[in-house]
Structure 1
């Protein structure tokens, strides 16, 4: 396969053109590298290499201006804006940067297309006045109206003064450089009359480029080589040749000179395969499979290119490459914003953007857990980051001060200062902190010999970025707050990349669409050929309306789509094997719609196209419930649990799901106690329990009196507050939801005490027998050769008019039917309905077995959310339904029936032949 570049060089050689005297001008630097490589293939003689430059380098040399970065342009523009805008109506730098970026793009377009700026800005100003005619006629205009209309009137002034400022400094943006280059063209021609230029591989040209090339052509100082196929240029509707047709018909030069070249490569036989694949990862995997197949068949990936329509595919594609890929060259840089160090500074800026002397615990944990920060806090054998995180969890700290963090951090407090102190004491200080943080990470890596070249490269590139921010801040002094600094940091970060090193002329080439200009490959894989990506579709990020762009011959979305149409089809022209993938799934930016390019290829009917929809092979995996067999070691652990004692809650946990019992009692896996921002239900329950324990514990063995209970009411607030402080630790209960929950806790206790007073005033006698009493009894199980105990704490045991009652408190809602049973077997099979009954019967059984109570008794639950129902007593019903007979007394027969179910449950738990089997939830 011969390439376009090779054909151009051969044509020049055949016309006896001295290549050493030519200046080759190409669309990109990368194309120049391939041209230099192919020079050696057209001759065996030694000669001096010609000048090979990109169009931007050529134009910059013509203009004698130096191009500056977009970020520096923004600072320069703000300086102009400040000088020519009243202080009262002037935007601060951060809001200015949002709209100024768009205006700078418009300036760039106006200059590249050589539009007289006063013409277009005066036109825009007039349009706005017409659009808001009634505003401009109002006698008492608001400040908003005045400022709005003034802004449009000042655009011409902003442009004129801004460009004057840049020209005085001999710097410029791309458009200004192009406009200036046109002005400097005549002196250049006079000084370089014998110089020959060859422009090759161009397509869409702005007015400045057209003027420069046409002038050089007319002066016989240049030749042009276009790369367009007859299929496209002969079809007046085909957008791939939209610009080339215009050049051919509109340029006077081609009335008398040959138009080079119209080729016939596209019609030659090609193998085209199109794959619809779900998601980006699916596309990457498919590309990996295609490359693997090519490698197996051809033994090499030389002359193969992967062109990514969506550059976010780069990392998935790199991960999907076959191990035997061989030499590889990546022309796209890895974006700095995607590396781990970017996430670190994202967290740091997030913490400090809103000035405060307290830091949210999640932000602190995120920062201390970061892969670049955590190692800093490992000093000798101590991990101070873990200590801080554990302290936050243990003490339920929602907000932390720097002083508190330093207190916990111990000998690592210097890093706390670096990360949390002095970030709002001026932008210079903030930038120094960022640079010091980078230096600290670097020093730690080197000190502990854990550095690697990639991590050091990350640190170096970020150090460069903050050096640039420091330079810009020192030079212009426009950044006055952290939000503005963050905005500029993000702007710089988005444009910075970490460049890959590779062999640019060997092996597989991975590139973006624009990097493929002028280059030809035998095998091409084009990814993300979706509508909205290739082409990008309609977007109007501009102050200039669509109709004004048309009037002034500025490019619109149609022209931009035609540019990508040309690039797409040019890749296909000389290629023999073409693979195209697109995403079939709707994502954030796409609707899963294949590109119009694919539809056009199919409708052309020139090539045989194989179109497949690829779906991943997803094996059908039948859900299998987890089963744990009881090994000797597990049984030994189970014996220890039994000897220590089964609690009612652990037994009901087994009933609910045996696997949970296994995790908690055998493996000792407990749920992590996260920081409670809002008081949890179990915390509320514990506070209420402990408050009532404080009130009633001193009254054990005594009869309650109305006066005694009324005295308790006086201490509700202080006692509840005390227990919140003990359990909720440093959590704040003085505002928000937590304040409401604090008041609810007080109301629960108050309502309970009021219920007690009503009972007493109604003439009922209540004697407190025990409060929060611990029970531990051994039960007789002859089937087992080890002791089995049951243990638990009863909330309250009292005597109500001579009847002993066992009472369990619940701060959640419980209804009467939750403590009633019909069949005894249900106690150990239906957790949802009968776990409450099981629990209170367990308490009764333990207390009767230990001789603390005499039967018959009552047992029940007091639900603080259902307090008007009083005590919800356990009941055995003879049948279901409204007319069922209930027995609410717990007798020996009741406990005998319960004991039978309890022993059956424990024997099942301890049976070595019955595994722990997960229940479907």
Structure 2
């Protein structure tokens, strides 16, 4: 085991006869205090009282006498000041205000933590803006005037806001630090006998420096720095940027030793650097490293996984080997990643835009949520499914609460919670959220043991909504659901669900800041990429870069130096170091390894193993699905044969036998989804049904121009009727649906015009049959069970004495689609010959049932290609432009078709030929 920095500090204090029980230890974090307490037990051989161990934040808060409050509450307080100091006509809404106020609060925080004279810097900022915008010019626009007025008011905002906070004895971190620095002298007077030990600090703000130096001056404090000579003695190494400044600038170190400059970094280390593609690749490789480390050392007691990007937490947890039993996670699980967060995200999304109706996808998403779906299961009935099925069946695109209640009266109270009164008042919206949490809790309580984690989620969200309710009742700044959603997201982003574990045992998983003051023998650091470690240039501030330099405020350079220190400090005492970086360019990062890695390689102090890891990508040969015909499948095929093979089912088999298997053998139907836009098959059905209504009464009669003209006047009524019948409650009064509705009317109108033109040309047309149902027995001697064919023919007519079998197609069909050269192709190529197969099958069935006398013509009327007229099936002698076409369907034609049809049916019914998927 390695000797840690904390252990060295405690050993030194004991060696110099300090009474450990009377020391106040001040550390950068609470977590470090826990490790100090643990190592204290290893130092002393006798029972002692535990010393006071606190974090710097706790120490400063105690010194200031002011309580810290959440960032969200500060926003509400600041908005009070903003409203008090801004004319009503110029006031931003709370939602708009919060976007820029967040940045201003950060600036207030920095100014106070670094003890900058407030009036000076705000006046300086205001002067800069006036110079920039030529404020002496008389013709300033209203926008420029308001802009300059904003900068002039910054100091006024600051004074009013801070006074308001101090009156309530609360504050943000910077204000607390400023007050603590002001109170330091009083604290020293009252604690002359108290000893303080500050250990493991690096970057200190001016307030912290002031407090510590005052304590040092009065001999009631000691400081222990954890810095290596390699960094300190190199003026260009940023890991010691702050420590060099403290050593040089603090008067205390003119007469006192600087504890400590160590030599741990130069000791031999095993450093391996791995370039791994993608974040998930890194997470998986961390799992592999842990497995190898555990196999070698039999323990992960002094091993830490430090996540440069904390979003890797969940993938890493999922990659940890199952053999790892002791595990401690310092980072909390973000509440925004919990499934319950998506529920409230959906709810706020639905109610953000005020309206009385809800989009069906939002409703279905909400009702299908894992925490909501079970609530609709009442007395063995799944009312959520009932609602969803009704939405699909009736094509409901927008729904009101009333319509939802009509579908499921049993769940009225639950539907009210989810959909009613949200926009009435914010109080009601929040009450709905807390009541919903209570309702979910009642359900989960029925099986408490199985739902412990879910109940913990609920508890944390209940706390969050209680905070929102308190803030709303105290400040009244939330005026609408959109603002409430913004505040909710702000609170949610900072909340975490803490893991429970043994903090001092086994593998440690933490973020970079949690690693402060801690030492581990083996360290795995992930996401060591530019833009992450270090984070690089970012300027989320109203204070320009040069003004920050002038006032000694931290810039991105100082922030990068903080992470440089943390990175190298992790390496100081470690024996085995594994550094991972992402080699791929992701959304906002360029896949560039961090400068820290380049610096390590250029230092030449350690032998570094650098390797690019390529994930194992097995070659998966695509294999087409194959289903062998079982006895049950054969029985089902016999049932289908007895009922009748339709042209569509046979062409479905030709296209892909697996589709036939799913739809006909397994009886798996496609899910009827809501049609927001009228689907092609719905348009086809409407046109077919309209023409059936028009022509069915005209069977066995001759057409005339007058009869067809009369039909044109009925187009609107019939098409509208069939749209309502097929499209249910879908809206055809606007948008694309209105266009498709008009197209349907135009299709029917154009068809009737074509009919009129044909009649006016002197052609005689007699309607023989409309939507004629045919079921015939086909003779297949090879099969020992009856086989039938079935199908519905759109239209059979007699034109100038010639019988025509017509199939309507609302899509575009061209003449080559109803022509064949080789008969064997008709049952093998769906794309080219499915139309020919259909019309020939209709002709074959009608011939078998003696409804027609050969020869006949059969073909397609394409509504998208009406100018081409009746596209007749024809047999071509050969391919090419000079091919001879024969449009007459004779007995010979049907005999040739029968051979191919029989071959297809025998293949389908053959128990030894499996259903095999076709390549698309």
Fold-level similarity (TM above 0.5):
yes
Match of 1:323 in 2: 322
Aligned mates of 1:186, 1:913 — CA distance in 2: 96
SS at match of 1:537: coil
Distance 2:620 2:37 in 1: 56
Superposed, 1:560-709 pairs within 5 Å as 560-709=559-708
The farther-off stretch of 240-249 and 604-613 is 604-613
Instruction: Tell me how far apart the structure 2 counterparts of residues 910 and 206 of structure 1 sit (CA, whole Å).
Output: 84
Q: How does 1:694-773 map to 2 (within 5 A)?
A: 694-773=693-772
Take 1:27 and 1:440, find their aligned partners in 2: how far apart are those partners?
A: 42
2:11 is matched with 10
> Shift of the alpha carbon at 1:602?
1.2
Partner Cα distance (1:230, 1:327) in 2: 35
Q: Deviations over 1:523-574 (max 9, x none)?
A: 1111111111111111111111111111111111111000000000000000
* In structure 1, distance between residues paired with 2:380 and 2:36: 59
User: Does the 8 Å contact 1:22/1:51 carry over to 2?
Assistant: yes
Describe the SS at the equivalent of 2:88.
coil
Q: Distance in 2 between matches of 1:188 and 1:610?
A: 52
2:215 — aligned with what? Answer: 216
Residues 371-390 of structure 1 correspond to what in structure 2 (within 5 A)? Answer: 371-390=370-389
Partner of 1:121: 122
Q: Is the 8 A contact 2:202 2:242 kept in 1?
A: yes
The 3-state SS of whatever aligns with 2:223 is: strand
Match of 2:407 in 1: 408
TM-score (norm 2): 0.99
1:307-362 deviation digits (Å, cap 9, x = unpaired)? 11111111111111112212211111111111111110000001011011001000
Alignment coverage as a number of residue pairs: 919
Structure-to-structure mapping, 1:462-611, within 5 angstroms: 462-611=461-610
Greater displacement, 745-754 / 583-592: 583-592
Contact persistence 2:21–2:50 (CA under 8 A): yes
3-state SS of the aligned residue for 1:676? coil
Contact 2:133–2:144 (Cα < 8 Å) also in 1? no
* Partner in structure 1 of residue 813 of structure 2: 814
In the TM superposition, 1:56-205 aligns within 5 A as: 56-133=57-134, 136-205=135-204
Equivalent residue, structure 1, for 2:256:
257
Matched, 1:333 2:356: no
| Post-superposition offset of 1:296 | 2.2
Assess if the C-alpha contact under 8 Å between 2:274 and 2:613 holds in 1. yes
Work out the CA distance in 2 between the residues paired with 1:543 and 1:156. 13
Kindly state the Cα deviation for residue 137 of structure 1 after the two structures are TM-superposed: 4.2
Higher mean C-alpha deviation, range 450-459 or range 816-825: 450-459
Does the 8 Å contact 1:409/1:416 carry over to 2?
A: no
2:393 aligned with 1:394: yes
Is the 1:110–1:117 Cα contact (8 Å) retained in structure 2?
Answer: yes
Structure 1 gaps of 5+ residues are none
Q: CA deviation at 1:196?
A: 1.4
Identify if the C-alpha distance between structure 1 residues 637 and 464 changes in structure 2 by more than 3 Å, giving closer, same or farther: same
Q: How far 1:449 moved relative to its partner?
A: 5.5
1:383 shift after superposition: 0.5
| Cα deviation, residue 660, structure 1 | 1.4
Q: Corresponding residue for 1:454?
A: 453
CA deviations on 1:41-93 (whole Å, 9 max, x unpaired) are 11212222221111111111111111111010000000000000011111010
**Alpha-carbon distance between aligned partners in 2 of 1:755 and 1:291, rounded to the nearest angstrom:** 77
- Separation in structure 2 between the aligned mates of residue 522 and residue 449 of structure 1, nearest angstrom: 41
- Name the SS of the counterpart of 1:184 in structure 2: helix
Distance 1:228 1:140 in 2: 59
Q: 1:298 — aligned with what?
A: 297
**Contact 1:384–1:410 under 8 Å retained in 2:** no
Q: CA deviation at 1:448?
A: 5.7
Aligned to 1:417: 416
Q: Is the 1:527–1:581 Cα contact (8 Å) retained in structure 2?
A: yes
Equivalent residue, structure 2, for 1:35: 36
1:305 & 1:593 partners in 2: Cα distance? Answer: 24
Q: Is the 8 A contact 2:335 2:492 kept in 1?
A: yes
- Superposition RMSD in Å: 1.1
Q: Which whole-Å deviations, capped at 9, do the CAs of 1:708-736 have from their partners, x for residues lacking one?
A: 11111111011000000000000000000
C-alpha spacing 1:856/1:138, structure 2 compared with 1 (3 Å): farther
| Equivalent-residue separation in structure 1 for 2:133 and 2:371 (angstroms) | 55
Deviates more, 1:777-786 or 1:120-129: 120-129
How far the C-alpha of 1:455 sits from its partner, in A, is: 1.0
Please report how far the alpha carbon of residue 805 of structure 1 lies from its aligned counterpart in structure 2 after TM superposition. Answer: 0.4
The answer to whether the Cα contact below 8 Å between 2:198 and 2:221 also exists between their aligned partners in 1 is yes
Look up the match of 1:864. 863
TM-superposed CA distance for 1:473, in Å, is: 0.5
**Which ranges in structure 2 are unaligned for 5 or more consecutive residues?**
none
* Contact 1:25/1:200 (<8 A) preserved: yes
Per-residue deviation, 1:451 = 5.2
Which piece of structure 1 moves more, 116-125 or 342-351?
116-125
Q: Aligned partners of 1:474 and 1:659: how far apart in 2?
A: 62
Deviations along 1:479-517, one digit per CA (max 9) or x if unpaired, are: 111111110000000111111111111111111110110
Partner of 2:242: 243
